[in-house]
Structures are given as structure tokens and as C-alpha cells.
Amino acid sequence: MDKFKNKYRIQSNRMAGWDYSGNGYYFITIVTQNRECNLGKIIKTHNNAYIKLSDFGKIVENEWYKSFEMRNELFLDEFVIMPNHLHAIIVLEKTIIDNTHNDLQPPVFIRKPKSISSFIGGFKSVINSKIDDYIDKRNLNIPKYNRNNHFFQPNYYDHIIRNNTEYKRIKNYIINNPLNWKQDKLYE
């Protein structure tokens, strides 16, 4: 395991050499801290299943939609909120050349504007704040979320969708995720 600033850190799962501020289709998974099932419960019907969102899940859903309303370069294709994670296909499509970053930056981790990582970082930050507001308004006796106690895990999973076959497979996986919850590797 590598060290950064004399501390051990987890290796990035980002694809080396890929510009995550570039156009593309991305399969994203964001997981709650400790895989806590605090976003809702899966309800099975005769031949289907859906999630009944908790209050935290409703906050996540509301802010997820808002995130796409305020960004011209991002489009939400398919998504599902599960009890302890969120899956989505996100389309990043910039129509105007973006010269807001300097390609001669030093080799350190900097989130490029209008990139997948800046989007996810901003979304997670808003969720911490909104859920803290919810906790405060209801005087709940539970830990608040901040820099040291995140609602979501610090990292996230991403996969660059490379072709139509892969796109269809991933979209089908997202749509059927509630029905297949007990076989999900994130099932707790």
C-alpha cells in the first residue's frame, strides 16, 4: 500500500490515463459508510421489487435530481437507490470546449471542474449538509456527518461504458437491482 503525506492510503480505482472530465458514459456506484442500510428497504411484490425510501433516502433522491438540474454537461440516464448504495449511468457531454484547467498542473490530485469526480464530491458534500440539517431539525440523537464522519464512503466505483452491449447489460442490471437485492454483493 502506498503512502501519501506519510499516511497509508487506498489506491485509486480510477482508470490510469483517462480524463474523467471528458465526454462519455459512466456507470457509478456510491455506497453508504459501513454499508449501513439507511436509504430504505426493498419491498417485494408478486413478480417485482422496489425500494421504499427512508427519509435519508428521500434526501438523497431529491439532491440527486437537483444535481443534474444545475449542470448542463451531465445527464442522468438510469439510476436506482438501494438500501445502502446508489447505482447510476451518467452521461458527461460537454458541447463547448472547456479551457478552465491548465494542462501544466503539478502531478497532484486536483478535481477538474465539470468532471465526474467534482460532481460526486459536490453531491456527497451536499448530502452531509442536508442530512445534518434533518438531524438538527428533529433533534435526533445520532452522530452528525462531517469531514471525519461521512454519510457515504469516501471513494466510489466507476466504470467507463465502452459500447452499446455493455450499456444495455449495465442498464438492465440497474433496473433489476431491487429484484435481485439478496444476490447483490452489497447486500447486508
* CATH value at residue 157: 3.30.70.1290
144 contact partners, CB below 8 Å, separation of at least 6: 132, 135, 136
Residue 104 confidence (pLDDT): 39
DSSP-derived letter for residue 177 is T
Residue 47 confidence (pLDDT): 86
Distance between CA atoms of residues 68 and 96, nearest Å:
18
Distance between CA atoms of residues 14 and 2, nearest Å:
15
Q: Considering the entire predicted model, what is its pTM?
A: 0.80
Strands 24-31 and 40-44: unpaired
Residue 84 falls inside a structural domain: yes
Residue 81 falls inside a structural domain: yes
Residue 163 falls inside a structural domain: yes
Residue 43 falls inside a structural domain: yes
Per the structure, how many domains does the chain have?
A: 1
Q: Is 62 helix (H, G, I), strand (E, B) or coil?
A: helix
User: Domain residues for 78?
Assistant: 19-95+113-183
| Side chain identity, residue 56 | F
Residue 10 falls inside a structural domain: no
Residue 106 falls inside a structural domain: no
Residue 5 confidence (pLDDT): 57
DSSP-derived letter for residue 83 is S
Distance between CA atoms of residues 76 and 188, nearest Å:
27
Instruction: Kindly give the confidence (pLDDT) of every residue in the chain, 188 residues in length, as a single tens digit, with 9 standing for 90 and above.
Output: 454 455 544 444 444 544 555 688 999 999 999 999 999 999 999 889 999 999 999 999 999 999 999 988 899 999 999 999 999 999 988 765 444 444 434 344 444 567 888 899 999 999 999 999 999 999 999 989 877 889 999 899 999 999 999 999 999 999 999 999 998 888 87
Residue 8 falls inside a structural domain: no
Residue 1 falls inside a structural domain: no
Q: Which of 113, 108, 143 is nearest to 128 (CA)?
A: 143
Positive or negative torsion for Cα 59, 70, 77, 35: negative
DSSP string across 18-36: --TTSSEEEEEEEEBGGG-
